[in-house]
Each structure stands twice: as C-alpha cells, then as structure tokens.
C-alpha cells in the first residue's frame, strides 16, 4: 500500500518536465510505510559551520535520528534536483566549502533549480520541500528573525513568513540575541504562528541561554504533548507552522552564559564602530568566536544535536498518533489487491426450536402449556444473515442434511439474501437442530443434534473463495481440523480471520490447536475468555491507563493474555469481549505495537427482551458490517450494539429491523444525545514481556 505522502510524490513526477525531485531510498521507504521522518536543513552544512565540523555534525544528527527510530531527511538541492534525503557521499560533497554553493530560501528555489545549481536549504527552503512531501516535523539550530533596527531596514528573515504559511513544526533553540527577539515574537504572532517552549515553563529561549526575558504563547512538557499539538494544527488545516523552542540543556548553560556575555560585548563594539545593516551579523559572529576562543562553536553544535534529539522524539510520537487515528477506522484490507466487501462465513446452520413454558409440570402430569417457535439459527448462518440484511455480500459455507429440514433451512437462507451456493445438503446426515428452553429471554438449557457439522470438511472450502474475500468469519462449531485449515489459508493469503468462539469448550479446543496465531480478531464473551487464560495472569496493564471500573480492570489482563497468543503473522490483533450489562471492551494491537483499549457501555435504552439467543451474533454482524462500510471503531461498536438491541426485542435470531439504515442512524443519534460515549482507556506503544 502506498502512503499518502508517497502518492503525492509519485503524482508530481509526471508533471515535472524541467527537473526531477529525488527522494532517497531510505526516506521513500519510510514515507511509503508511514514511518516517522524528521526533516533537516543543509545551509548549516554549506554556510553555517567550517569543515570538518560541518560534516561531523551532519553525520551525527542523522545518527541521532536513526537511534530514536526515525528516518533523517536532510534536504538540499544537488545540481538542480531537490533532494529529500541525501547520501553520505553527498553530505561530504556539501561540506567541502565550495564558494559556488548557494543559500536557498523559498525565493531561491526556482532559480537554483532552473540554473541546475547546488546549495543548502535554509529554514524557509527546507520547510517548503518538507511540506511538499508531507514531512511535518523539522529540526534545526535556530530560526531567523527580525534584525535589530528592522523597523527601519525591514530586514526580516523569510523564515518568519514561511512559518505563517507552511504547516511544518520547527524544533529549534529559539533565536540568537543578536536579533530583536521581542519584535520576532510579535511578527510571529501577526503571522498566526504558534510558539511553544519545550519544557515546564513558557520562558522563550535565546539560543545560548534558556531565558530571553520573554514568554512563548504556550508550552509543551513532553514530546507527546508537542506531537498532539502538531496533529491538531494539521487537522484544523490552519496552514501555518509551529515553533517548538527548546532551551539549552543544563550542562551547557555555563558556556551559554559566557557566549551571551560575548554577544552583548560584540553588540556594543558594533554600535561604537558604527557597523550597520547586513554587516552587523557577520561582525558579531566573528567577534563572539574570538571572545570565547571558539567555545561558541562547540556549544552551537551541542544545541543542534539536542534539538534533533527532541525533534526525533516528537516525530516518533506524531507517527504513533497518526497510526492510531488510522487504527480507529479498523482498517482490515489485506496486503494485496483491494477486495470487494465480500465476507466469507464458515460455520453452522441450525434449526432452533425455542420453548417457553407458561407453567411448571411434573413427571406423569399433562404437558406444560407454553409457546414453541421454530427459528433459523447457527452462529455462522446468523452472522451471514445479519451482514446480508445490511447490504454486505456474504457467502456461507456450511452443511445441512439432505432432508426436509435441510431443504427448509436452505430456502430460509436464500430468502435472507446471503449466497447459499456453498451450503451442502449431505446425504444421510440430519440437519442440525437445537431445542432451547427460554425463560425471561435467556436460554436455561438445551438439547441438540449437531452431528452434521462433522461433514464440514476442508475440501468444501476452496482457497479461491478465501482469496477473493475481504475477510473470513469462522465459528467454532466447525470441526477443529477444518478450522485450522481455514486459519492457515487466511494467513497464507493475507486475508484477516475473525474467530467466533460459540462455546467455552469448543473455543478451548481451537485454542489448544494453535488457531489464535492466525487470527486477526477473536470475539469471546467473559466465560469464553476465561477458559484460555491461566492462573498466572501477570500481564502488565499499561501504566498510563486511565482509571476504569474494578470489574472491567479484572478482565483486561485476560484480554491481554489472549492477545499475547495471537502472533504477528496477522496485520493486527484484536480481542472484542462482550460484557453483558456492562457493554463491550475492545483491545487492538497493531503490527507496530500500538495498543488501543476502548470501552463502550451498554445502550442507554433498556429493551423488552424476548430472546437473547441471537444477540451476540447480531452484534458481530453489525460490527463487521460497519467495518466494511469504512466506519471508525466507535461507529463499529455502536452499530453492533444496535443490531444486538434489536435482536433482543425479537423472537427471530436476526431482527428484520436491522436492515433499516435510517432507523439505525436515528436510534444511535438519540442514544448519543443521552450521553452514550466511547471511553478510550489507553492509546500508545505496548510490548509483551518476553
């Protein structure tokens, strides 16, 4: 799958006739796989530092990025080609001190490319190219600003206007005190640029010192807080950038104070010598280096490396947030070609006889008066019907007997809208029947004959059917060996598998056979969940988990233990546990170890329960249907709850009311107005202890 950034890049190449943007293989791979990337400027290499310090600095900051799990993207223009990420040879070339290299801001990009020149990009030029390739975070030493006397000379850095129109976050040490910091902050405010100090206070740093005597608009205490602010800024489409101002580390503060004193001395000398205009900055920089005996260079390098370290952490956190946003959509597409929303269901078809006694009786007495209903059942059949009623193509693979009940079952399945061409009428077998005794809507006891399920063998399930499906639902009424065949085929064909336990003992058999390593989503209730967890249950709950009710917190370790049995052979791992009166709890772990734990309470409206026998299957069908429609996790869980609610109010296992999308939307909206909210308990990185 090509990420959005990569799509934009590839989409622009064909339109360019005069030049070619080069994205390095390392950066391109990160963009395609939506991994964190940090932009780095190159003017500091070509114009900011002497050789060999410039090369050592460039190499070290790229190493800092990689050590933090972030891909560095040093941006430059090489012989007329904008480069997003450059090779070690190109770093060496840029550091050789050639006088032919140009300094490239926004205004210089077009002529530099047109004349096929080589040069380093400034903050402004780097921001432009980073934004064009969807790299949202950029680290540098310091930004330009309003020069002293700028109110008369209009000497204002292009960095400031770029921040006002390009949504890239610039991590820096503020601006040097040789500039007019107060006017720089005023100018940034006019441009609508958010300025935030990285740390516990709002003190705006002055590059070599932690405090300039002025305040930022706000502060962010951690890389995660900074990433959250950047994410919100992008979501709002404000179009402006953000300055993340990082104070000098404490271990360099003494050197920083000495350098600041040297700057003030140099400023006074410049004033006494009537040095003005564009001569001020080079004069001051030269004098500061002389006055500090070169220590200003050492501290400057330390500041740049610290900024890159902080920028890498922010880029990493932002990448996590972006992946979490995508995970809310419960993206279940396979890694191959895009498939239609066809769901393959492998499982049981039953005829259920529901018996409700109106009076008690004893042995030898007359039959008890009551109510008897024949309804279609079977977990697989129920899920397939629920999907079909919501306009999701579903094919059911199952077995019935070649008898009158079997013919009736086939006819009912056809009428429900599902594809029944894979249901086999097995000669000599009896169509599965379950007689269930119902009281107050709950099943008290039952008698069944499910012997026909043994005829659901692997050769009835063509791999082509699995390969062409969006994903596969498997119920544990299927023979274990058939279930393992389906699971292994799903893994081989990169088709996500959803496993519905159906009953504790059957589920335990499947788990013992190793099916969870091939499973993407498993949907146990609390009883089914308990049969696969052991007494040790020492799975760590994330320390950042928000306070949750005690009874739910007792279930979470079991869910994590279940999750641990699901291997990385799947694109994601999810456990969806129904909690009865307490709603549902959902845990999802992505393949890059981002864990999400959410809880949806029960619907705020209490149903008059007629039968609960199909509620769980209805929930699963509603959940899957909403996934197929591209809805986020909250809507998926609420859609499943709506289907279960309607099932509880009906004697039919799958209520005919769920086919009305308008009713579903209206009902869920009314429940939302009653305060029916999804609670996110945890979103972040999580790894199981080995």
Q: Coil, helix or strand for 357?
A: strand
Q: Can you list the positions of beta strands (E) in 440-520?
A: 442-449, 471-475, 497-500
Question: Which tens digit of pLDDT belongs to each residue from 414-435?
Answer: 998 999 999 999 999 999 888 8
> What letters, b where the CB count within 10 A reaches 16 and e where it falls short, cover 311-334?
bbbbbbbbbbbbbbeebbebebeb
**Dihedral sign from CA coordinates of 585, 590, 593, 594:** negative
| Cα distance between residue 423 and residue 72, in whole Å | 55
Q: Which runs of consecutive H residues, i.e. helices, occur in 236-276?
A: 253-272
Cis omega (within 30 of 0) on the bond before 52?
Answer: yes
What is the predicted pLDDT for the residue at 92? 94
Q: Torsions phi, psi of 138, nearest 5?
A: -140, 130
CATH of region 342-685, choose from 3.40.50.300, 3.40.1190.20, 3.30.70.100, 2.30.40.10: 3.40.1190.20
Widest Cα–Cα separation across the chain:
121
In eight-state DSSP terms, residue 141 is S
Q: Identify the burial level of 285 via C-beta atoms within 10 angstroms of its C-beta, where 0-12 means exposed, 13-18 middle and 19 or more buried.
A: middle
Question: Which tens digit of pLDDT belongs to each residue from 100-159?
Answer: 999 999 999 999 999 999 999 999 999 999 999 999 999 999 998 898 777 777 888 899
Q: Please compute the mean of the pLDDT values over residues 538-556 and round it to a whole number.
A: 71
**605, two tokens:** 């409206």
What is the predicted pLDDT for the residue at 690? 52
Query: pLDDT-derived band of residue 328, with 50, 70 and 90 as boundaries?
Result: low
* Rg from Cα positions in the chain: 32
Backbone region of residue 428 per phi and psi (left: phi > 0; alpha: psi in -120 to 50; beta: other values): left
- Residues, the chain, total? 690
Contact 185, 259 (CB under 8 A): no
| Cα distance between residue 600 and residue 598, in whole Å | 7
Annotated catalytic residues are 41, 176
Query: DSSP letters of 352-366?
Result: EEEEEESS---TTSP
| Cα distance between residue 551 and residue 290, in whole Å | 68
Contact 454, 478 (CB under 8 A): no
Q: Where are the domains of the chain?
A: 1-135, 141-327, 342-685
Closest C-alpha to 520, from 627, 634, 676, 391: 627
Same fold? 141-327, 342-685: no
Cα 21 to Cα 93, 130, 135, 318, distances in angstroms: 19, 12, 15, 25
613 or 501, greater pLDDT? 501
| Percent of the chain with pLDDT strictly greater than 70 | 90
Closest C-alpha to 48, from 227, 369, 285: 285
**310, two tokens:** 């902080």
What is the predicted pLDDT for the residue at 338? 45
Closest C-alpha to 581, from 557, 596, 600: 600
In eight-state DSSP terms, residue 237 is T
The CATH class that applies to domain 141-327 reads: alpha beta
CATH of region 1-135, choose from 2.170.270.10, 3.40.50.300, 3.30.1370.60, 3.40.1790.10: 3.40.1790.10
Q: Identify the burial level of 371 via C-beta atoms within 10 angstroms of its C-beta, where 0-12 means exposed, 13-18 middle and 19 or more buried.
A: exposed
Contact 221, 199 (CB under 8 A): yes
**Dihedral sign from CA coordinates of 26, 29, 35, 41:** positive
Question: Which tens digit of pLDDT belongs to each residue from 71-90?
Answer: 999 999 999 999 999 999 99
Q: Please compute the mean of the pLDDT values over residues 252-281 and round it to a whole number.
A: 77
| Cα distance between residue 610 and residue 265, in whole Å | 87
Query: pLDDT-derived band of residue 358, with 50, 70 and 90 as boundaries?
Result: confident
Cα 195 to Cα 267, 319, 690, distances in angstroms: 26, 21, 42
| Cα distance between residue 394 and residue 351, in whole Å | 20
In eight-state DSSP terms, residue 413 is H
Q: Please compute the mean of the pLDDT values over residues 379-398 and round it to a whole number.
A: 94
Query: Which long-range contacts link 535-540 to residues 24+ away (Cβ below 8 Å)?
Result: 537/561, 539/564, 539/688, 540/689
């Amino acid at each position: 799958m090509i990420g959005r950034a990569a799509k934009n890049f590839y989409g622009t190449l064909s339109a360019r006739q005069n030049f070619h943007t080069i994205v390095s293989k390392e950066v391109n791979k990160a963009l395609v796989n939506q991994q964190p990337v940090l932009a780095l400027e190159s003017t500091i290499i070509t114009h900011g530092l002497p050789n060999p310090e410039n090369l050592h600095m460039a190499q070290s900051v790229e190493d800092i990025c990689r050590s933090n799990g972030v891909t560095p993207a040093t941006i430059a223009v090489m012989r007329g080609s904008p480069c997003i990420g450059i090779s070690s040879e190109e770093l060496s070339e840029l550091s050789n001190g050639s006088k032919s290299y140009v300094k490239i801001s926004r205004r210089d990009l077009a002529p530099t490319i047109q004349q096929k020149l080589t040069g380093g990009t400034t903050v402004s030029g780097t921001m432009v190219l980073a934004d064009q390739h969807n790299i949202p975070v950029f680290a540098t030493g310091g930004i330009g600003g309003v020069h002293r006397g700028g109110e008369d000379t209009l000497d204002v850095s292009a960095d400031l206007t770029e921040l006002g129109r390009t949504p890239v976050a610039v991590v820096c040490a503020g601006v040097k005190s040789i500039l007019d910091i107060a006017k720089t902050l005023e100018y940034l405010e006019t441009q609508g640029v958010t300025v935030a100090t990285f740390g516990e206070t709002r003190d705006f740093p002055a590059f070599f010192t932690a405090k300039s005597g002025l305040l930022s608009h706000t502060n962010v205490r951690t890389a995660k807080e900074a990433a959250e602010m950047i994410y919100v800024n992008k979501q709002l489409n404000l179009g402006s950038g953000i300055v993340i101002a990082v104070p000098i580390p404490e271990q360099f503060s003494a050197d920083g104070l000495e350098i600041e004193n040297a700057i003030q001395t140099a400023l006074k000398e410049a004033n006494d010598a009537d040095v003005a205009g564009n001569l001020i900055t080079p004069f001051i920089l030269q004098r500061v280096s002389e006055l500090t005996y070169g220590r200003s260079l050492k501290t400057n390098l330390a500041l740049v490396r610290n900024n890159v370290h902080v920028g890498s952490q922010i880029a990493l956190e932002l990448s996590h947030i972006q992946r979490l946003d995508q995970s809310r959509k419960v993206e279940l597409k396979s890694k191959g070609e895009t498939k239609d929303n066809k769901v393959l269901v492998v499982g049981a078809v039953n005829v259920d006889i529901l018996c409700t006694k109106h009076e008690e009786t004893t042995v030898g007495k007359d039959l008890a008066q009551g109510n008897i209903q024949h309804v279609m059942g079977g977990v697989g059949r129920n899920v397939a019907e629920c999907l079909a009623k919501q306009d999701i193509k579903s094919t059911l693979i199952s077995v019935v007997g070649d008898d009158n009940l079997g013919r009736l079952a086939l006819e009912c399945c056809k009428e429900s809208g599902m594809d029944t061409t894979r249901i086999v009428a097995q000669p000599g077998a009896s169509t599965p029947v379950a007689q269930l005794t119902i009281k107050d809507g709950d099943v008290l006891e039952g008698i069944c004959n499910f012997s026909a399920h043994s005829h659901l063998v692997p050769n009835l399930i063509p791999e082509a059917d699995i390969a062409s499906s969006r994903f596969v639902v498997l119920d544990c009424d299927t023979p274990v060996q058939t279930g393992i065949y389906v699971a292994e085929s799903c893994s081989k064909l990169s088709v996500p598998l959803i496993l519905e336990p159906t009953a504790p003992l059957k589920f335990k058999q499947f788990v013992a056979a190793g099916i969870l390593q091939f499973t993407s989503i498993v949907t146990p209730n609390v009883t089914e969940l308990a049969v696969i967890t052991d007494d040790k249950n020492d799975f760590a709950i994330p320390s950042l988990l928000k306070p949750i009710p005690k009874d739910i917190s007792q279930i979470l370790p079991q869910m994590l233990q279940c999750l641990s049995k699901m291997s990385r052979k799947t694109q994601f791992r999810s456990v969806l546990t129904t909690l009865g009166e307490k709603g549902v709890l959902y845990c999802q772990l992505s393949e890059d170890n981002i864990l999400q734990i959410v809880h949806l309470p029960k619907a705020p409206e209490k149903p008059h329960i007629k039968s609960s026998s199909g509620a769980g299957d209805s929930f699963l069908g509603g959940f899957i249907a909403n996934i197929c429609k591209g809805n986020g996790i909250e809507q998926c869980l609420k859609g499943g709850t709506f289907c279960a609610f309607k099932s509880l109010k009906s004697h039919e296992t799958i209520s005919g009311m769920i086919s009305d999308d308008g009713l579903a939307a209206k009902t869920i909206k009314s429940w939302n107005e009653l305060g029916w909210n999804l609670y996110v308990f945890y979103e972040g990185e999580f790894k199981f202890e080995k």
